[in-house]
Structure 1
Amino acid sequence: MGIKKDKLNLIEWISKIEDFSIIYQIKKIKDSSAQSFKQSDNLSKGEKDSILRGLKDFENKNTHSHTKARKIYEKYL
């Protein structure tokens, strides 16, 4: 539920903005994001599925710190 609440908070905040320069910056972020999303059309289904699993893990806080990851994989490095 965290991301939904964050989205709603952002929508509410954006709806109250009167400063054009802030709106312009938000629009640039949106446009940049849309461009990145289009580039994902070149990914295979397996790659897209893997990315979605990673995002879901991140959202569910199913992650490890960099230090722990290095410790787990240090024998391969």
Structure 2
Amino acid sequence: MGHSFGATVNASGPVITVRGRSALKATEVVGEDIRAATALVIAALAAEGTSTIRGMYHLRRGYGGLLPKLAALGADLTIDQE
């Protein structure tokens, strides 16, 4: 599959293998569905630096209140309309 947040991700049938670093680094990624977008938000919050996540309409459609709640907890977020 490739690299994301500094980790190497491989998929073989129903199995996904992630080999990564102890510290994630910022990157630009695309959330293809609601679960992917949510997972990418969590990874971006843990990563060092500023990440850009496209495809956030998936997350807003199902978890519309998540981003404001994360911001209220101190997450540094900038939200642009896609």
TM > 0.5: no
Query: TM-score under structure 1 normalisation?
Result: 0.27
The structure carrying a bigger helix percent of its residues is 1
